[in-house]
Amino acid sequence: MNAIFYITAAVAVVSTGLAITRANAIHSLLWLVTSLLAVSVIFFVLGAPFVAALEVIIYAGAIMVLFVFVIMMLNLGPDAAEQEREWLSARAWTGPGILALILLAEMVYILKGNVSTLEGARMISPKELSLALYGPYILVVELASLLLLAGLVGAYHLGRRDPASAKELKS
């Protein structure tokens, strides 16, 4: 079981370091996704399966997809096709892919042999977490929803195109 910690930690550190140092934005995003997946495995091992799931769904899923969208959007130049080919080359995704496979193997191992967590850790069930969220922490849930609403409204405003300014940009 200890091996899981060392392998995952190594995957996390290596992929984070590469995510920060790669010059190509899409490449560093692939590494970043791997890093987030590694942290998610760590959450699972530490007895936080619900947080681990959220990390995958929201962080590695939604937020990273947003990053990908924006990067692709900001790179719509004439050499976009060239870039596309370069981004999707095997060299770009092999590294993150291998590390992600390692994480997958770990997860399979954890799930097969019923070693739930590190020794001594208590698996905190989603139910327990939800009871706390919608009990004592209900105020924070409401505040967070207000925050997300404000972020949504703001992003809508900033992202919308003025008919007038769009015309001007084209001319």
Partner 1 sequence: MLMLPEIIVVLTAGVVLCLDLFLTERSRVILAPVTLLGLALGFAALLVTPQTGDLLGGRFGMDPIAWWFKVIFLIAGFVTVILSMDLLDGRAAHRMRGIGFRGEYYTILLSTIVGMMFLISARETITLYVSLETATIPLFVLTAWRRDHVQSGEAGLKYVIIGALASAFILYGLSILYGLTGQTSIVGMSAKLADVPRPAFWLAAAMLMTGVGFKLTIVPFHMWAADVYEGAPAPVTAYLSVASKAAGLAFMFQVFYRIFGSELAGWTPLIAAFAAVTMSLGNLVAIVQDNIKRFMAFSAISQAGYLILGFLGPADNGVPAMLFYMLVYILSNLAVFACIVWYSNETGRERIEEYRGLSLTNPIMALGMMIALFSLAGIPPLSGFVGKFFLFSIAAKAGYNWLVAVAAVNSTISLFYYLRIVRQMYIEPIYEGAGTLPVRYTVAATVGLLSLAVALMGVIPYFYETIHAQTITWLASLIG
Partner 2 sequence: MTEFLAQHTPTLTHWLYLSTLLFSIGLYGLLTRRNAVGILMAVELMLNSAALNFVVFNRFCAPATVDGQIMAIFVIAAAAAEVVVGMAIFVALYRYRGTVDVNAMDTMKD
Those residues whose C-beta lies under 8 Å from the C-beta of residue 82, and which sit 6 or more positions away, are: none
How far apart (Å, rounded) are the C-alpha atoms in residues 151 and 145?
Answer: 10
**Least distance CB 106 / partner 2 (angstroms):** 14
**Least distance CB 129 / partner 2 (angstroms):** 6
Site residues (vs partner 1, CB under 8 A)? 136-140, 143-144, 146-147, 149-151, 153-158, 162, 164-165
Decide whether 81 or 139 has the Cβ nearer to partner 2: 139
Q: 34 in the Ramachandran plot: left (φ > 0), alpha (ψ -120 to 50) or beta? A: alpha
Decide whether 7 or 46 has the Cβ nearer to partner 1: 46
Site residues (vs partner 2, CB under 8 A)? 2-3, 5-6, 9, 12-13, 16-17, 19-21, 25, 28-29, 32, 35-36, 39, 42-43, 46-48, 50-51, 54-55, 58-59, 62-63, 66-67, 70-71, 73-74, 118-122, 124, 128-129, 132-133, 137, 140, 144, 147-148, 150-152, 154-155, 158-159, 169
DSSP for 60-120 reads IIIIHHHHHHHHHHTT-STTHHHHHHHHTSHHHHHHHHHHHHHHHHHHHHHHHS---SSTT
